[in-house]
Structure 1
Amino acid sequence: MLDCKPIDTPMMMNHGLQTIEGEKLVDQTQYERLVGKLIYLSHTRPDLAYAVGVVSRFMHKPQSQHLEAVYRILRYLKGTPRRGVMFEKHGHLDLHAFTDADWGGYRDSRKSTSGYFTLAGGNLVTWRSKRQKVVVMSSAEAEFRGIAKGITEVLWLIKILSELGYAPKRSYKLYYDNMATIRVSENPVQHDRTKHVEIDRHFIKDSLEAKVISLPFVSIN
């Protein structure tokens, strides 16, 4: 791949990758070796986290379309050799988190994927993209589970900062891109569409009322 043409993104939007019956299989050992190295690299390249998470789902039975997705990641790396995690001094230790979730994005099982990343003092410190354990019945359910995971990460970072002598003086911000979900999180009235995630909803509501976090809206555009 040394002479490959660089590309701007590690994965296509709405990629639709899945296991297709009868599709041509590729060398499993080669596929596992490539993806294994990408998993290792993603520890310092958060921009690869989602794409690598997707291609790692097919380690047991890789097909040609999956290998092409891996090659796309390599082409992206060819054009971005200097990217990584940069730590700079910004004069504060404010904590900000961003979270999002899809709904039924994994075609083989229709499970959703949620992810988050956090900034401490303006620097990226943690990030994660993970498939949810169960199939959810609505987009609201997927989104609540994603927010709940983001809040637990914020609480963990608050504890670490407090132990280091930097206890929070105000609520931290967890940004989200769905205004309807934010309103339901702040509303104590139970909604039919959130009855499957009532524990997550109350966990989010309690965190808001305790002023541990706030949920500002952020546009995806």
Structure 2
Amino acid sequence: MKLPPEHPQSDDPDMVCKLHKSTYGLKQSPRAWYAKLSSILEKFGFQRSSADSSLFVRDGLVGKVIVLIYVDDLIVTGDNAEEIHFLKLTLQNKLAIKDLGRLKYFLGIELANSHEGFFLNQRKYILDLLKDSDLIDSKHARTPLDSKLQLSTHSEAFFDITKYQRLVGKLIYLTITRLDISYVVSIVSQFMHAPTLAHMQIVKRILRYLKGSICRGLLMTKNDSTAIMGYTDADWAGNSLDRKSTTGFCTFVGGNLVTWRSKKQTVVARSNAEAEYRAMASTACELIWLKSLLLDLGFPSNEPMSMFCDNQAAMHIASNPVFHERTKHIEVDCHYVRAQVQSKIITTYYTHSHDQLADIFTKSLPTVPFLCIMSKLGSRDPLDLA
């Protein structure tokens, strides 16, 4: 590390400093802090989750305690208040911590508790984003992306690349609760290195859409079920620039939406069935991860997980144990889904295209089907319900 200014030897280019203690701001600090905190938790009986290294679980004599870590911010929950209180006292004796009470705000995510369940949104984060981009008084849009828009590379280059990257980076973080912008954010994030004016116009369209849906968030209803299911879809050759397909999926636990993704596939698919099959492989990995996470939380399940797909050809490839001419060119890692289907860990079901909830993550939809799918996924706007 460099010596601080005004130090008597700060002008010596050959001076080398040995670090005895990691200081705030260095790249080693988060790793050192995590090592110290995890060692304290493990000393008091916590087990690190194999599915998520930031999740720690302890099964006590009178209850379960769960700790979720994000750098130096912690969420503590459990089914016994005394166990939670004892953990807080233990941490206070070891570290300088501050108890902020019941969870209401965490890393830009607001949480409201009601008789229906938990409602998650990022209202304040959106307001700050609109103020920073000078669009707080702009006219709002009904959808985040025009359903008839065609991407082009012939637009003029945008002059301020840093501004574009900063806005898109904030929008990526916003997709934690705003599944409605996942697809369009995945599009604009593909041009971070060389954005054009047309790409910046799409970013502004997203912000104007957020202006009209500031309070929209995700409702988690109370449910005793831990059944895992997922919807998977792909838009074959949907990208007009390189003809790569887009993978989209969403997963549910107990009827509540928990994860979703919209991502361009890394290779060009030779058929619609191949594109859908690759999307099924990605969804299968997500379902297996969710199952292992629930196991670490103390909710084991031997029931097959459900996967809904609207392409029967891809489903046949997944259930057919014989490799044939149509599947020779598909990478081995894509056949991961076939192993899960054959071992009865995942069961595939056909769903009609108009019932495909993952459709919103693969293409831009008109207003009516867009809002319909949003409602089915549990995305709510309290202003619409008032």
Q: CA deviation at 1:142?
A: 1.5
Q: Is the 8 A contact 1:140 1:194 kept in 2?
A: no
2:348 matched to 1:211?
A: no
Could you say which residue in structure 2 is the equivalent of 1:129?
262
Residue 17 (str. 1) matches residue 151 (str. 2): yes
1:185–1:201 Cα contact (<8 Å) kept: no
What stretches of structure 1 of length at least 5 have no aligned partner?
none
Deviates more, 1:125-134 or 1:189-198: 189-198
CA displacement 1:139-184 (0-9 Å, x = unmatched): 2222111100100111111111122221113111111111222123
Change (3 A) 1:31 1:82: same
Larger RCO: Structure 1 or Structure 2 (Cα < 8 Å, ≥ 6 residues apart)? 1
CA contact (8 A) 2:245 2:275 kept: yes
TM-score, normalised to structure 1, is 0.89
Query: Which of 105, 116, 125 is matched with 2:238 structurally?
Result: 105
Give distance in 2, aligned partners of 1:43 and 1:61. 25
Q: Which runs of 4+ in 1 moved over 4 A?
A: none
Q: Which region of structure 1 is more displaced relative to structure 2, 88-97 or 201-210?
A: 201-210
- The residue aligned with 2:218 is 85
* Matching residue of 2:138: 4
Provide the C-alpha distance between the structure 1 equivalents of 2:334 and 2:148, rounded to a whole number of angstroms: 28
Q: Which of these residues, 278, 290, 311, is aligned with residue 178 of structure 1?
A: 311
Q: Give me the whole-angstrom Cα distance separating, in 1, the residues matched to 2:186 and 2:335.
A: 29
Q: Which one of the candidate residues 286, 290, 307 is aligned to 1:153?
A: 286
Higher strand share: 2
* Farther off after superposition, 60-69 or 196-205: 196-205
Aligned to 2:199: 66
Q: Which residue of structure 2 aligns with residue 43 of structure 1?
A: 176
Q: Deviations over 1:188-207 (max 9, x none)?
A: 34343222226356432221
| Distance of 1:82 and 1:214 partners within structure 2 | 36
Paired position in structure 2 for 1:194: 327
Q: Percent same amino acid at aligned positions?
A: 44
- Equivalent pairs, count: 219
Whether contact under 8 Å (2:306, 2:346) holds in the other structure is yes
Corresponding residue to 1:56 among 180, 189, 193: 189
What SS is found at the alignment partner of 1:87? strand
Q: Tell me: CA distance 1:41–1:201, structure 2 relative to 1, closer, same or farther (3 Å).
A: closer
Matched, 1:115 2:248: yes
> Could you tell me whether the CA contact under 8 Å between 2:277 and 2:315 is conserved in 1?
no
RMSD between superposed Cα atoms in Å = 1.9
Quote the offset at 1:14 in angstroms. Answer: 5.6
1:101, 1:115 within 8 Å by CA — same for their partners in 2? yes
Query: Which string of whole-angstrom CA distances, capped at 9 and with x for unpartnered residues, describes residues 87-116 of structure 1?
Result: 221221111111111222233332222121
Q: Per-residue deviation at 1:120?
A: 0.9
The worse-fitting range, judged by mean Cα deviation, of 36-45 and 149-158 is: 36-45
Counterpart Cα distance in 2 of 1:191 and 1:11:
40
CA contact (8 A) 1:140 1:193 kept: no
For the 8 Å contact 2:281–2:335, the answer to whether it is kept is: no
Letter in 2 for 1:131: K
Q: Report the CA distance shift for 1:201/1:51 in structure 2 as closer, same or farther (over 3 A).
A: closer
Are the structure 2 counterparts of residues 18 and 191 from structure 1 closer, same or farther at C-alpha, using a change threshold of 3 Å? Answer: farther
Give secondary structure in 1 for the equivalent of 2:167. Answer: helix
**Higher deviation after alignment, 103-112 or 144-153:** 103-112
